[in-house]
A and B are shown apart, each in its own frame.
Chain A
Amino acid sequence: MTRIKRLHWGDWLILAGIAGVCVFLVLRVQGTLEYKWRWGDIPRYILAYDASTHAWFANMLLQGLLMTLRISIFASVLALILGIVLGLGRTARSLAVRLLARTYLELLRNVPPVVIIFIFYFFLSAPLIDALRIDFWARAIARSDHAAVWTFFFGDMRRFSQLVSGTIVLALFESAFVGEIVRAGIESVGRGQREAANSIGMTHFQSMRFIILPQAMRKIMPPMANQFIMLIKDSSIVSLISVQELTFKTLELVSSTRMIFEGWLTAAAFYFVISFSFSRYFARKERKFRLSP
Protein backbone atom coordinates (compact mmCIF):
# COMPACT_ATOMS: atom_id res chain seq x y z
CA MET A 1 0.00 0.00 0.00
CA THR A 2 1.47 3.35 -0.97
CA ARG A 3 0.65 6.23 1.29
CA ILE A 4 -0.79 9.36 -0.25
CA LYS A 5 1.14 12.36 0.96
CA ARG A 6 -1.11 15.12 -0.39
CA LEU A 7 -4.59 16.24 0.57
CA HIS A 8 -7.21 15.93 -2.15
CA TRP A 9 -10.46 17.90 -2.48
CA GLY A 10 -12.34 15.14 -0.63
CA ASP A 11 -9.99 15.41 2.33
CA TRP A 12 -10.52 19.17 2.45
CA LEU A 13 -14.23 18.54 2.55
CA ILE A 14 -13.88 16.25 5.57
CA LEU A 15 -11.63 18.73 7.35
CA ALA A 16 -14.06 21.55 6.64
CA GLY A 17 -16.87 19.43 8.09
CA ILE A 18 -14.92 18.83 11.29
CA ALA A 19 -14.05 22.51 11.59
CA GLY A 20 -17.75 23.31 11.15
CA VAL A 21 -18.74 21.04 13.99
CA CYS A 22 -16.13 22.66 16.26
CA VAL A 23 -17.36 26.14 15.44
CA PHE A 24 -20.93 25.02 16.07
CA LEU A 25 -19.97 23.60 19.49
CA VAL A 26 -18.18 26.79 20.50
CA LEU A 27 -21.08 28.96 19.38
CA ARG A 28 -23.52 26.73 21.22
CA VAL A 29 -21.52 27.02 24.42
CA GLN A 30 -21.56 30.76 24.05
CA GLY A 31 -25.20 31.01 22.94
CA THR A 32 -27.17 28.57 25.05
CA LEU A 33 -24.98 28.55 28.17
CA GLU A 34 -24.29 32.25 27.83
CA TYR A 35 -20.68 31.42 28.55
CA LYS A 36 -18.25 34.27 28.74
CA TRP A 37 -14.79 33.22 27.66
CA ARG A 38 -12.09 34.70 29.84
CA TRP A 39 -8.93 33.42 28.17
CA GLY A 40 -7.19 36.60 29.21
CA ASP A 41 -7.28 35.47 32.85
CA ILE A 42 -5.56 32.15 32.27
CA PRO A 43 -1.92 33.38 32.00
CA ARG A 44 -1.90 34.81 35.50
CA TYR A 45 -2.96 31.47 36.88
CA ILE A 46 0.18 30.08 35.27
CA LEU A 47 2.71 32.77 36.16
CA ALA A 48 1.82 35.67 38.40
CA TYR A 49 3.63 38.74 39.63
CA ASP A 50 3.73 39.45 43.32
CA ALA A 51 3.77 43.21 43.75
CA SER A 52 4.83 43.07 47.41
CA THR A 53 7.99 41.00 46.81
CA HIS A 54 8.49 42.17 43.22
CA ALA A 55 8.91 38.65 41.98
CA TRP A 56 7.26 36.31 39.53
CA PHE A 57 5.92 33.15 41.02
CA ALA A 58 4.37 29.93 39.71
CA ASN A 59 0.65 30.08 40.21
CA MET A 60 -1.80 27.18 40.49
CA LEU A 61 -1.55 25.71 37.01
CA LEU A 62 2.23 25.85 36.81
CA GLN A 63 2.53 24.53 40.37
CA GLY A 64 0.29 21.67 39.35
CA LEU A 65 2.31 21.02 36.22
CA LEU A 66 5.57 20.95 38.18
CA MET A 67 4.04 18.57 40.71
CA THR A 68 2.84 16.33 37.88
CA LEU A 69 6.36 16.27 36.43
CA ARG A 70 7.94 15.56 39.82
CA ILE A 71 5.53 12.77 40.61
CA SER A 72 5.91 11.28 37.14
CA ILE A 73 9.68 11.22 37.34
CA PHE A 74 9.90 9.85 40.89
CA ALA A 75 7.15 7.32 40.27
CA SER A 76 8.82 6.15 37.04
CA VAL A 77 12.08 5.47 38.83
CA LEU A 78 10.32 3.59 41.61
CA ALA A 79 8.05 1.76 39.15
CA LEU A 80 11.10 0.71 37.14
CA ILE A 81 12.76 -0.78 40.21
CA LEU A 82 9.58 -2.53 41.36
CA GLY A 83 8.83 -3.59 37.79
CA ILE A 84 12.23 -5.25 37.38
CA VAL A 85 11.70 -7.13 40.65
CA LEU A 86 8.23 -8.14 39.47
CA GLY A 87 9.47 -9.15 36.02
CA LEU A 88 12.18 -11.29 37.62
CA GLY A 89 9.51 -12.75 39.90
CA ARG A 90 7.34 -13.63 36.92
CA THR A 91 10.23 -15.54 35.34
CA ALA A 92 11.61 -17.03 38.57
CA ARG A 93 12.26 -20.73 38.99
CA SER A 94 10.34 -20.93 42.26
CA LEU A 95 6.61 -21.55 41.85
CA ALA A 96 5.75 -19.58 45.00
CA VAL A 97 7.51 -16.48 43.67
CA ARG A 98 5.86 -16.83 40.27
CA LEU A 99 2.44 -17.21 41.89
CA LEU A 100 2.93 -14.12 44.04
CA ALA A 101 4.03 -12.00 41.10
CA ARG A 102 1.17 -13.29 38.98
CA THR A 103 -1.39 -12.59 41.71
CA TYR A 104 -0.20 -9.02 42.10
CA LEU A 105 -0.38 -8.49 38.37
CA GLU A 106 -3.84 -9.98 37.96
CA LEU A 107 -5.23 -7.98 40.88
CA LEU A 108 -3.99 -4.76 39.37
CA ARG A 109 -5.17 -5.64 35.91
CA ASN A 110 -8.68 -6.53 36.93
CA VAL A 111 -9.56 -3.77 39.38
CA PRO A 112 -10.24 -0.21 38.15
CA PRO A 113 -7.31 2.19 38.67
CA VAL A 114 -9.34 4.59 40.81
CA VAL A 115 -10.25 1.83 43.26
CA ILE A 116 -6.66 0.62 43.35
CA ILE A 117 -5.41 4.12 44.06
CA PHE A 118 -7.69 4.43 47.08
CA ILE A 119 -6.78 1.00 48.38
CA PHE A 120 -3.07 1.66 48.04
CA TYR A 121 -3.48 5.05 49.64
CA PHE A 122 -5.43 3.98 52.71
CA PHE A 123 -3.77 0.60 53.27
CA LEU A 124 -0.20 1.29 52.31
CA SER A 125 0.92 4.79 51.80
CA ALA A 126 -0.99 6.59 54.58
CA PRO A 127 0.14 4.18 57.35
CA LEU A 128 3.67 4.19 55.95
CA ILE A 129 3.85 7.97 56.07
CA ASP A 130 2.53 7.95 59.63
CA ALA A 131 4.90 5.23 60.72
CA LEU A 132 7.94 6.93 59.26
CA ARG A 133 6.82 10.32 60.60
CA ILE A 134 7.53 11.79 57.17
CA ASP A 135 5.21 14.72 57.81
CA PHE A 136 7.06 15.79 60.93
CA TRP A 137 10.39 15.45 59.24
CA ALA A 138 9.33 17.38 56.10
CA ARG A 139 7.95 20.27 58.16
CA ALA A 140 11.27 20.51 59.96
CA ILE A 141 13.03 20.81 56.60
CA ALA A 142 10.55 23.44 55.43
CA ARG A 143 11.64 25.58 58.36
CA SER A 144 15.35 24.92 57.90
CA ASP A 145 17.92 26.96 55.97
CA HIS A 146 18.33 24.79 52.90
CA ALA A 147 14.60 24.55 52.28
CA ALA A 148 15.14 26.04 48.80
CA VAL A 149 17.12 23.06 47.51
CA TRP A 150 14.50 20.64 48.79
CA THR A 151 11.73 22.77 47.33
CA PHE A 152 13.40 22.69 43.93
CA PHE A 153 13.34 18.88 43.85
CA PHE A 154 10.24 18.09 45.86
CA GLY A 155 8.05 21.18 45.73
CA ASP A 156 6.55 22.72 48.84
CA MET A 157 7.98 20.69 51.72
CA ARG A 158 4.83 21.19 53.78
CA ARG A 159 3.10 19.00 51.22
CA PHE A 160 5.96 16.52 50.97
CA SER A 161 3.94 13.64 52.37
CA GLN A 162 1.46 14.07 49.53
CA LEU A 163 4.23 13.83 47.01
CA VAL A 164 5.41 10.66 48.73
CA SER A 165 2.00 9.03 48.72
CA GLY A 166 1.33 10.09 45.15
CA THR A 167 4.64 8.64 44.08
CA ILE A 168 4.21 5.39 45.98
CA VAL A 169 0.64 4.82 44.85
CA LEU A 170 1.35 5.63 41.22
CA ALA A 171 4.54 3.54 41.20
CA LEU A 172 2.79 0.53 42.71
CA PHE A 173 0.07 0.84 40.11
CA GLU A 174 2.42 1.21 37.13
CA SER A 175 4.89 -1.41 38.36
CA ALA A 176 2.52 -4.18 37.25
CA PHE A 177 2.71 -3.00 33.66
CA VAL A 178 6.43 -2.34 33.83
CA GLY A 179 6.79 -5.86 35.23
CA GLU A 180 5.05 -7.32 32.20
CA ILE A 181 7.33 -5.38 29.87
CA VAL A 182 10.38 -6.64 31.77
CA ARG A 183 9.06 -10.20 31.67
CA ALA A 184 8.53 -10.01 27.90
CA GLY A 185 12.06 -8.62 27.56
CA ILE A 186 13.58 -11.42 29.63
CA GLU A 187 11.68 -14.03 27.67
CA SER A 188 12.73 -12.53 24.37
CA VAL A 189 16.38 -13.33 25.13
CA GLY A 190 16.99 -16.70 23.52
CA ARG A 191 17.46 -19.92 25.44
CA GLY A 192 20.93 -20.23 23.92
CA GLN A 193 22.09 -17.17 25.86
CA ARG A 194 21.02 -18.67 29.15
CA GLU A 195 22.68 -21.98 28.26
CA ALA A 196 25.89 -20.24 27.22
CA ALA A 197 25.89 -18.33 30.52
CA ASN A 198 25.25 -21.57 32.41
CA SER A 199 27.95 -23.42 30.54
CA ILE A 200 30.60 -20.95 31.70
CA GLY A 201 29.53 -21.67 35.26
CA MET A 202 27.39 -18.62 35.98
CA THR A 203 24.81 -18.83 38.72
CA HIS A 204 21.20 -17.93 37.96
CA PHE A 205 21.79 -14.49 39.47
CA GLN A 206 24.99 -13.89 37.51
CA SER A 207 23.45 -14.87 34.20
CA MET A 208 20.52 -12.53 34.86
CA ARG A 209 22.78 -9.70 35.94
CA PHE A 210 25.43 -9.91 33.23
CA ILE A 211 23.81 -11.66 30.28
CA ILE A 212 20.01 -11.69 30.25
CA LEU A 213 18.98 -8.34 31.76
CA PRO A 214 21.42 -6.19 29.74
CA GLN A 215 20.03 -7.71 26.54
CA ALA A 216 16.43 -7.55 27.76
CA MET A 217 16.85 -3.86 28.66
CA ARG A 218 17.70 -2.96 25.07
CA LYS A 219 14.58 -4.63 23.81
CA ILE A 220 12.28 -3.09 26.39
CA MET A 221 13.37 0.52 25.85
CA PRO A 222 10.59 1.39 23.35
CA PRO A 223 7.66 -0.11 25.33
CA MET A 224 9.16 1.33 28.51
CA ALA A 225 9.24 4.83 27.02
CA ASN A 226 5.62 4.36 26.02
CA GLN A 227 4.74 3.28 29.54
CA PHE A 228 6.44 6.39 30.92
CA ILE A 229 4.11 8.53 28.83
CA MET A 230 1.14 6.46 30.03
CA LEU A 231 2.32 7.12 33.57
CA ILE A 232 2.35 10.89 33.03
CA LYS A 233 -1.27 10.69 31.92
CA ASP A 234 -2.23 8.24 34.65
CA SER A 235 -0.74 10.58 37.23
CA SER A 236 -3.97 12.60 37.02
CA ILE A 237 -5.75 9.95 39.11
CA VAL A 238 -3.69 10.74 42.18
CA SER A 239 -5.64 14.03 42.34
CA LEU A 240 -8.26 11.83 44.02
CA ILE A 241 -6.05 11.40 47.06
CA SER A 242 -5.49 15.18 47.19
CA VAL A 243 -2.07 15.23 45.63
CA GLN A 244 -1.82 18.74 44.30
CA GLU A 245 -0.83 17.98 40.74
CA LEU A 246 -2.15 19.46 37.53
CA THR A 247 -5.60 17.88 37.55
CA PHE A 248 -6.16 18.72 41.21
CA LYS A 249 -5.06 22.31 40.69
CA THR A 250 -7.23 22.68 37.61
CA LEU A 251 -10.21 21.39 39.55
CA GLU A 252 -9.45 23.94 42.23
CA LEU A 253 -9.12 26.72 39.68
CA VAL A 254 -12.33 25.77 37.90
CA SER A 255 -14.37 25.63 41.08
CA SER A 256 -13.10 28.95 42.38
CA THR A 257 -13.16 30.96 39.15
CA ARG A 258 -15.81 29.11 37.07
CA MET A 259 -13.49 29.17 34.04
CA ILE A 260 -14.58 25.63 33.22
CA PHE A 261 -13.63 25.46 29.57
CA GLU A 262 -10.48 27.57 29.77
CA GLY A 263 -9.20 25.68 32.81
CA TRP A 264 -9.68 22.22 31.41
CA LEU A 265 -8.51 23.11 27.92
CA THR A 266 -5.32 24.58 29.38
CA ALA A 267 -4.75 21.45 31.48
CA ALA A 268 -5.34 19.32 28.39
CA ALA A 269 -2.85 21.42 26.44
CA PHE A 270 -0.26 21.01 29.21
CA TYR A 271 -0.67 17.23 29.30
CA PHE A 272 -0.58 17.06 25.52
CA VAL A 273 2.59 19.13 25.24
CA ILE A 274 4.47 17.05 27.82
CA SER A 275 3.33 13.69 26.51
CA PHE A 276 3.78 14.57 22.87
CA SER A 277 7.25 16.06 23.38
CA PHE A 278 8.40 13.01 25.29
CA SER A 279 6.93 10.76 22.65
CA ARG A 280 8.73 12.61 19.81
CA TYR A 281 11.94 12.64 21.84
CA PHE A 282 11.77 8.88 22.50
CA ALA A 283 10.88 8.16 18.87
CA ARG A 284 13.99 10.01 17.74
CA LYS A 285 16.16 8.23 20.35
CA GLU A 286 14.77 4.90 19.25
CA ARG A 287 15.58 5.55 15.62
CA LYS A 288 19.16 6.43 16.55
CA PHE A 289 19.35 3.42 18.86
CA ARG A 290 18.24 1.07 16.10
CA LEU A 291 20.91 2.39 13.76
CA SER A 292 23.71 1.82 16.26
CA PRO A 293 24.78 -1.77 17.02
Chain B
Amino acid sequence: MTHSPGKPVIRARSLNKYYGDFHALKDVSLDVGEGERLVICGPSGSGKSTLIRCFNALEFHQSGTLSVGGIEVHEDSREIIRLRQEVGMVFQQFNLFPHLTVLENLTIGPTKVLKVPQAEAEAAARLYLGRVHIPDQADKYPHQLSGGQQQRVAIARSLCMKSRVILFDEPTSALDPEMINEVLDVMVELADTGMTMVVVTHEMGFARKVADRVVFMAEGEILEIDTPESFFRNPKTARGRDFLDKILQH
Protein backbone atom coordinates (compact mmCIF):
# COMPACT_ATOMS: atom_id res chain seq x y z
CA MET B 1 0.00 0.00 0.00
CA THR B 2 1.53 3.27 -1.02
CA HIS B 3 0.21 6.23 0.78
CA SER B 4 0.18 9.56 -0.95
CA PRO B 5 1.77 11.99 1.46
CA GLY B 6 -0.15 15.07 2.50
CA LYS B 7 1.36 18.50 2.95
CA PRO B 8 4.84 18.37 4.45
CA VAL B 9 5.15 18.36 8.25
CA ILE B 10 8.92 18.34 8.04
CA ARG B 11 10.64 20.36 5.39
CA ALA B 12 14.43 20.29 5.23
CA ARG B 13 16.42 22.25 2.67
CA SER B 14 20.19 21.90 2.15
CA LEU B 15 20.95 21.04 5.77
CA ASN B 16 24.62 20.97 6.68
CA LYS B 17 26.05 19.98 10.00
CA TYR B 18 29.61 19.64 11.19
CA TYR B 19 31.14 18.15 14.31
CA GLY B 20 34.45 20.00 14.24
CA ASP B 21 35.95 18.96 10.91
CA PHE B 22 33.59 16.07 10.43
CA HIS B 23 30.89 16.85 7.89
CA ALA B 24 27.94 14.96 9.40
CA LEU B 25 25.14 16.15 7.10
CA LYS B 26 25.82 17.23 3.55
CA ASP B 27 23.17 19.30 1.80
CA VAL B 28 20.30 17.18 3.03
CA SER B 29 16.91 18.09 1.61
CA LEU B 30 13.84 16.09 2.52
CA ASP B 31 10.08 16.49 2.91
CA VAL B 32 8.00 14.32 5.20
CA GLY B 33 4.29 14.55 4.54
CA GLU B 34 1.45 14.46 7.04
CA GLY B 35 0.68 10.78 7.78
CA GLU B 36 3.73 9.56 5.93
CA ARG B 37 5.84 6.64 7.14
CA LEU B 38 9.43 7.21 6.24
CA VAL B 39 12.23 4.75 6.88
CA ILE B 40 15.80 6.01 6.90
CA CYS B 41 18.53 3.42 6.49
CA GLY B 42 22.22 3.36 5.74
CA PRO B 43 25.52 2.19 7.17
CA SER B 44 26.54 3.38 10.63
CA GLY B 45 27.98 6.88 10.70
CA SER B 46 25.91 7.89 7.70
CA GLY B 47 24.13 10.70 9.58
CA LYS B 48 20.70 9.06 9.93
CA SER B 49 20.45 9.64 13.67
CA THR B 50 21.92 13.12 13.39
CA LEU B 51 19.26 14.01 10.84
CA ILE B 52 16.29 12.95 12.93
CA ARG B 53 17.84 14.47 16.06
CA CYS B 54 17.82 17.77 14.16
CA PHE B 55 14.10 17.27 13.54
CA ASN B 56 13.27 17.70 17.23
CA ALA B 57 16.08 20.11 18.02
CA LEU B 58 18.23 17.75 20.06
CA GLU B 59 20.94 18.89 17.64
CA PHE B 60 21.14 21.90 15.39
CA HIS B 61 22.14 22.22 11.75
CA GLN B 62 24.60 24.94 10.83
CA SER B 63 23.28 25.93 7.44
CA GLY B 64 20.15 25.35 5.41
CA THR B 65 16.58 25.66 6.60
CA LEU B 66 14.44 23.25 8.53
CA SER B 67 10.82 23.67 9.42
CA VAL B 68 8.92 21.15 11.52
CA GLY B 69 5.19 21.49 12.05
CA GLY B 70 5.42 25.05 10.74
CA ILE B 71 8.13 26.03 13.22
CA GLU B 72 11.52 27.16 11.96
CA VAL B 73 14.21 25.18 13.78
CA HIS B 74 17.35 27.04 14.77
CA GLU B 75 19.42 27.33 17.89
CA ASP B 76 18.01 30.61 19.24
CA SER B 77 14.41 29.77 18.54
CA ARG B 78 12.02 30.49 21.36
CA GLU B 79 9.68 27.91 19.97
CA ILE B 80 11.85 24.87 20.52
CA ILE B 81 9.81 23.78 23.53
CA ARG B 82 6.61 23.97 21.45
CA LEU B 83 8.32 22.14 18.61
CA ARG B 84 9.37 19.27 20.88
CA GLN B 85 5.81 18.96 22.14
CA GLU B 86 4.72 18.30 18.56
CA VAL B 87 7.47 15.81 17.80
CA GLY B 88 7.97 12.67 19.87
CA MET B 89 11.16 10.67 19.98
CA VAL B 90 11.79 7.01 20.73
CA PHE B 91 15.43 6.34 21.57
CA GLN B 92 17.61 3.32 20.97
CA GLN B 93 18.32 3.07 24.72
CA PHE B 94 14.63 3.68 25.66
CA ASN B 95 15.65 6.44 28.13
CA LEU B 96 12.74 5.84 30.44
CA PHE B 97 12.93 7.75 33.71
CA PRO B 98 14.20 5.12 36.16
CA HIS B 99 12.99 6.90 39.30
CA LEU B 100 9.38 6.98 38.12
CA THR B 101 6.87 4.16 37.68
CA VAL B 102 5.66 3.26 34.22
CA LEU B 103 2.49 5.24 34.79
CA GLU B 104 4.43 8.27 36.04
CA ASN B 105 6.75 8.03 33.04
CA LEU B 106 3.68 8.43 30.86
CA THR B 107 1.92 11.16 32.86
CA ILE B 108 4.82 13.42 33.76
CA GLY B 109 4.95 15.01 30.30
CA PRO B 110 1.22 15.63 29.93
CA THR B 111 0.76 16.92 33.50
CA LYS B 112 3.89 19.07 33.78
CA VAL B 113 4.29 20.25 30.19
CA LEU B 114 0.79 20.24 28.75
CA LYS B 115 -0.88 20.92 32.16
CA VAL B 116 -3.40 18.12 31.66
CA PRO B 117 -5.22 17.24 34.93
CA GLN B 118 -3.72 14.19 36.68
CA ALA B 119 -6.80 11.97 36.38
CA GLU B 120 -7.15 12.68 32.69
CA ALA B 121 -3.45 12.03 32.08
CA GLU B 122 -3.65 8.73 33.95
CA ALA B 123 -6.67 7.61 31.98
CA ALA B 124 -4.86 8.43 28.73
CA ALA B 125 -1.71 6.68 29.96
CA ARG B 126 -3.66 3.49 30.73
CA LEU B 127 -5.31 3.65 27.33
CA TYR B 128 -1.94 3.87 25.57
CA LEU B 129 -0.42 1.17 27.77
CA GLY B 130 -3.23 -1.04 26.48
CA ARG B 131 -2.44 0.05 22.96
CA VAL B 132 1.18 -1.14 23.37
CA HIS B 133 -0.04 -4.38 25.01
CA ILE B 134 1.25 -3.88 28.54
CA PRO B 135 -1.87 -2.69 30.39
CA ASP B 136 -0.93 -4.38 33.66
CA GLN B 137 2.59 -3.02 34.22
CA ALA B 138 1.57 0.51 35.14
CA ASP B 139 2.88 0.45 38.69
CA LYS B 140 6.23 -1.20 38.00
CA TYR B 141 9.51 0.59 37.64
CA PRO B 142 11.30 0.50 34.28
CA HIS B 143 14.09 -1.80 35.51
CA GLN B 144 11.46 -4.43 36.34
CA LEU B 145 10.45 -4.68 32.67
CA SER B 146 12.12 -6.44 29.77
CA GLY B 147 13.83 -4.38 27.07
CA GLY B 148 10.95 -4.91 24.67
CA GLN B 149 8.44 -3.80 27.28
CA GLN B 150 10.52 -0.74 28.14
CA GLN B 151 10.66 0.29 24.51
CA ARG B 152 6.90 -0.08 24.21
CA VAL B 153 6.49 2.13 27.29
CA ALA B 154 8.74 4.66 25.54
CA ILE B 155 6.45 4.56 22.51
CA ALA B 156 3.42 5.04 24.77
CA ARG B 157 5.19 7.99 26.38
CA SER B 158 5.41 9.70 23.00
CA LEU B 159 1.78 8.88 22.25
CA CYS B 160 0.68 10.42 25.57
CA MET B 161 2.16 13.71 24.42
CA LYS B 162 -0.24 13.64 21.44
CA SER B 163 2.68 14.27 19.14
CA ARG B 164 1.99 14.93 15.46
CA VAL B 165 5.17 13.13 14.42
CA ILE B 166 7.10 10.38 16.17
CA LEU B 167 10.77 9.89 15.41
CA PHE B 168 12.32 6.48 16.05
CA ASP B 169 16.08 6.33 16.47
CA GLU B 170 17.03 2.67 15.90
CA PRO B 171 14.27 1.53 18.27
CA THR B 172 15.14 -2.18 18.10
CA SER B 173 18.94 -2.07 17.97
CA ALA B 174 19.44 -2.42 21.72
CA LEU B 175 16.96 -5.28 22.05
CA ASP B 176 17.49 -9.01 22.38
CA PRO B 177 16.39 -10.67 19.13
CA GLU B 178 13.34 -12.33 20.64
CA MET B 179 11.96 -8.94 21.69
CA ILE B 180 12.36 -7.14 18.40
CA ASN B 181 9.07 -8.31 16.95
CA GLU B 182 6.90 -7.24 19.86
CA VAL B 183 8.19 -3.69 19.37
CA LEU B 184 7.88 -3.79 15.58
CA ASP B 185 4.32 -5.09 15.89
CA VAL B 186 3.39 -2.09 18.00
CA MET B 187 5.03 0.21 15.44
CA VAL B 188 3.11 -1.44 12.58
CA GLU B 189 -0.15 -0.95 14.47
CA LEU B 190 0.81 2.65 15.08
CA ALA B 191 1.48 3.12 11.39
CA ASP B 192 -2.01 1.79 10.67
CA THR B 193 -3.52 4.61 12.77
CA GLY B 194 -2.10 7.13 10.31
CA MET B 195 0.61 8.53 12.61
CA THR B 196 3.43 10.36 10.87
CA MET B 197 6.55 8.32 11.55
CA VAL B 198 10.20 8.75 10.71
CA VAL B 199 12.06 5.57 11.54
CA VAL B 200 15.80 5.03 11.48
CA THR B 201 16.15 1.26 11.37
CA HIS B 202 17.89 -1.69 9.81
CA GLU B 203 14.74 -3.78 10.01
CA MET B 204 14.09 -4.16 6.32
CA GLY B 205 11.04 -6.36 6.89
CA PHE B 206 9.43 -3.48 8.75
CA ALA B 207 10.43 -1.03 5.99
CA ARG B 208 8.91 -3.25 3.34
CA LYS B 209 5.69 -3.63 5.30
CA VAL B 210 4.90 -0.07 6.35
CA ALA B 211 7.19 2.46 4.71
CA ASP B 212 5.77 4.81 2.12
CA ARG B 213 9.29 5.79 1.15
CA VAL B 214 12.76 4.62 2.05
CA VAL B 215 15.62 7.08 2.37
CA PHE B 216 19.11 5.68 1.92
CA MET B 217 21.95 7.71 3.43
CA ALA B 218 25.71 7.27 3.36
CA GLU B 219 28.42 9.57 4.65
CA GLY B 220 26.01 12.33 5.53
CA GLU B 221 24.29 12.44 2.16
CA ILE B 222 20.92 11.24 0.94
CA LEU B 223 21.73 8.94 -1.97
CA GLU B 224 18.31 7.53 -2.70
CA ILE B 225 14.67 8.22 -1.92
CA ASP B 226 12.37 5.58 -3.28
CA THR B 227 9.42 3.32 -2.57
CA PRO B 228 10.46 0.24 -0.61
CA GLU B 229 9.61 -2.14 -3.48
CA SER B 230 11.77 -0.36 -5.93
CA PHE B 231 14.62 0.35 -3.47
CA PHE B 232 14.86 -3.27 -2.31
CA ARG B 233 14.44 -4.78 -5.75
CA ASN B 234 16.58 -2.40 -7.64
CA PRO B 235 18.72 0.12 -5.77
CA LYS B 236 19.95 2.82 -8.10
CA THR B 237 23.35 3.46 -6.55
CA ALA B 238 26.31 1.16 -6.05
CA ARG B 239 26.43 2.15 -2.36
CA GLY B 240 22.79 1.21 -1.97
CA ARG B 241 23.30 -2.16 -3.63
CA ASP B 242 26.36 -2.78 -1.49
CA PHE B 243 24.44 -1.90 1.70
CA LEU B 244 21.51 -4.16 0.86
CA ASP B 245 23.87 -7.02 0.01
CA LYS B 246 25.49 -6.73 3.40
CA ILE B 247 22.35 -6.61 5.45
CA LEU B 248 20.22 -9.04 3.47
CA GLN B 249 22.77 -11.77 2.84
CA HIS B 250 21.57 -13.99 5.68
Contacts and interface: CB of A to CB of B under 8 A. Distances in A.
Interface of A: 190, 192-193, 195-203, 206, 210-211, 214-215, 218, 293
Given A293-B141, A293-B143, A200 B109 contact: yes
A196 B161 CA distance: 12
Interface residues of B, number: 28
Interface of A is mostly: helix
A78 to B, nearest CB: 26
Contacts of B199: none
Given A192-B93, A192-B95, A293-B141, A198 B58 contact: yes
Contacts of A201: 81-82, 84-85, 109, 113-114, 161
Given A201-B109, A201-B113, A196 B81 contact: no
- 10 smallest A-B Cβ distances: which pairs? A201-B85, A200-B109, A196-B95, A199-B89, A192-B95, A201-B84, A201-B113, A214-B99, A215-B99, A192-B93
Contacts of B89: 195-196, 199
A196 B157 CA distance: 10
A195 B58 CA distance: 7
A214 to B, nearest CB: 5
B108 interface: yes
B58 A200 contact: no
A211 to B, nearest CB: 6
A218 B93 CA distance: 21
29 contacts: A193-B95, A193-B97, A195-B95, A196-B89, A196-B97, A197-B97, A198-B57, A198-B58, A199-B56, A199-B87, A199-B88, A199-B89, A199-B91, A200-B113, A200-B158, A200-B161, A201-B84, A201-B85, A201-B114, A201-B161, A203-B81, A206-B113, A210-B112, A211-B97, A211-B108, A214-B99, A215-B97, A293-B141, A293-B143
Max chain B C-beta neighbours (<10 A), residue from A195, A196, A211, A214: A196
